[in-house]
Amino acid sequence: MLVFFVIAIIFLALVYLHDIRQTHHTILRNFPVIGHVRYFAETWGEYMRQYQYLPDWAERPFNRMERSWVYRSAKGVSNLISFGSEAVPSFIFRNATFPILEEEQKSYPGKMIGITEGPGTCREPFMARSFFNISGMSYGALSHAAVTALSRGARLGEVYMSTGEGGLSSYHLDGGADIVMQIGTAKYGVRDVAGELSEERLRVVAAYPQVKMFEIKLAQGAKPGKGGILPGNKVTEEVAKIRGIPVGQPSISPNRHKDIGNLQELGVFIARVREITGKPVGVKFVLGDPGFLDEWFHDCAENPAHCPDFIQIDGGEGGTGAAPEPLADYVGLPITQALPYVSAMRYEHGLAGRIRIIASGKLVTPDKVAWALCMGADLVSSARGFMFSLGCIQAMKCGSGRCPTGVTAVEPRLIAGLDPADKAVRVARYAQKMREEVEIIAHSCGLSNASLFAPKHVTEIERGVAGFRAMSG
């Protein structure tokens, strides 16, 4: 005991001497030793609040209620609650007086993406079996173990997964899942040495039977108006080879496709990729200027050959990617405003049978997915929801490479803690539970399956004003 006491005194004395001599931190010079308490609280405060101080519904970007639902679903634990709800909803679903009986319930019919007749046809349309799927997350941003688990889980859960802008890796192919190949602004995975689209590499990727669709990414919710950012410490030799970039240097994509600067060029690029691959081609974007959408849909109606087979509308709420804080916080319409507008514009221009809408942006629980389907989305995709199913604890260390759960880590020691076989089952359970509980909402609304949701089935709650207002799309 005495030895321990002496060692502690010596340690504190050394810290004291260090603090009063250093010149970088005024607090430590003025308050040696005890000043470290302030920096500890600053560094670790968010984790202490997460588990000890904040109520279940107060956290951001995802509160504990949302994360816990995903965790329980992924682990196969019951999501039943007792003694009433703690939620404070902004909308409610309008349940039917006579809900659907079990024998009246029908299976989700799926959604066909791509057409086979007329201008803008593709040779291999894709039938999406699930209305809930995995949004774009690149290998490199995610560890190889995480991508492998997602691939295997997607196959088990009968959902598709997007590669993200980082290109197609062997880990995406590992599980045998249906894959959407995303073409980002840097065209990783399908670029030539000059960074332009390589038709040869595009054909190689399209030749994989698992690759069902191609998605041209104009923007994502984390950073609308700026390209992808992968820190240099995550650009390993393998990642560099897949992307076609130097090892160890930050992977920063252009803020837009250099060969797509207007609607005409976008249409030409869509038609070009569809002709080369023979598969459905879509566009991912964040809505900012509504005038763009009106003009684009008008052009699609006038020139069907340049029309995308689907659009993924991402909310401007931020996302999995590393991003400048002002872009993540203040640029791009949130999905709650963007999706109803996009759906209304599609209907107004007569494109409901031509373009599928995929919604994404913090849609990680059944209430939000069902809301999106009511607002006109044909499908919903999620990135962070599936990260939670892998074990993500919202440590906010994604870009550092030191993710404690191994999901976005680069250190082998941390990645080794994520077992792809175990996590694949959790990914599948999460997807299955999501579909099950969204269907429960549909049955409560008097619908035989979730494909029949419409705006009339959900109602916005006007806080501070008596009454309700039906939401419209």
DSSP string covering 106-156, please? Answer: -----EEES-SSSTT--SS-EEE--SEEE----BTTB-HHHHHHHHHHHHH
Work out whether strand 211-217 and strand 281-285 pair parallel, antiparallel, or are unpaired: parallel
> Does residue 93 contact residue 454 with C-beta atoms inside 8 Å?
no
Q: What is the C-alpha to C-alpha distance for residues 429 and 61, in angstroms, rounded to an integer?
A: 23
pLDDT band, residue 468 (cuts 50/70/90): very low
Report CA dihedral (150, 153, 155, 160) to the nearest 10 degrees.
-50
> Does residue 337 contact residue 236 with C-beta atoms inside 8 Å?
no
The secondary structure of 182-234 as a DSSP string is EE-TT-TTSB-TTSSB-HHHHHHHHTSTTEEEEEEES--TTSTTS--EE-GGG
Q: And the tokens for 49?
A: 């609040």
Q: What is the pLDDT of residue 379?
A: 98
> Does residue 383 contact residue 62 with C-beta atoms inside 8 Å?
no
Q: What is the pLDDT of residue 466?
A: 45
Query: In this model, does residue 311 exceed pLDDT 50?
Result: yes
Stretch (H or E) spanning 293: helix 290-302
pLDDT band, residue 159 (cuts 50/70/90): very high
pLDDT band, residue 473 (cuts 50/70/90): very low
pLDDT band, residue 220 (cuts 50/70/90): confident
Q: What is the pLDDT of residue 8?
A: 85
Residue with the two structure tokens 């949004």 = 135
Measured over the CA atoms of residue 47, residue 51, residue 55 and residue 58, the dihedral's sign is: positive
Query: In this model, does residue 5 exceed pLDDT 90?
Result: no
**Least confident piece of the model among 191-205, 217-231, 349-363, 433-447:** 217-231
**Least confident piece of the model among 27-36, 175-184, 225-234, 329-338:** 225-234
More confident: 174 or 235: 174
pLDDT band, residue 1 (cuts 50/70/90): confident
pTM to 2 decimals?
A: 0.85
pLDDT band, residue 47 (cuts 50/70/90): low
Query: In this model, does residue 55 exceed pLDDT 60?
Result: no
Which residues are 281's β-sheet partners? 214
Q: And the tokens for 369?
A: 């997915």
Q: What is the pLDDT of residue 41?
A: 63
pLDDT band, residue 467 (cuts 50/70/90): very low
Q: What is the pLDDT of residue 222?
A: 65
Average pLDDT of the segment spanning 13-18: 90
SS3 at position 319: coil
Q: What is the pLDDT of residue 194?
A: 85
Q: What is the pLDDT of residue 472?
A: 47
Q: What is the mean pLDDT of the chain?
A: 87
Q: State the first-to-last Cα distance of the chain, in angstroms, to the nearest integer.
A: 71
More confident: 456 or 194: 456
- How does DSSP classify residue 162? E
Q: Of the segments 55-64, 110-119, 188-197, 414-423, which one has the largest average pLDDT value?
A: 110-119
Average pLDDT of the segment spanning 193-213: 94
pLDDT band, residue 57 (cuts 50/70/90): low
Q: What is the pLDDT of residue 52?
A: 56
Distance of CA 195 to the CA centre of its chain: 26
Query: In this model, does residue 95 exceed pLDDT 60?
Result: yes
pLDDT band, residue 205 (cuts 50/70/90): very high
Q: What is the pLDDT of residue 4?
A: 81
pLDDT band, residue 310 (cuts 50/70/90): very high
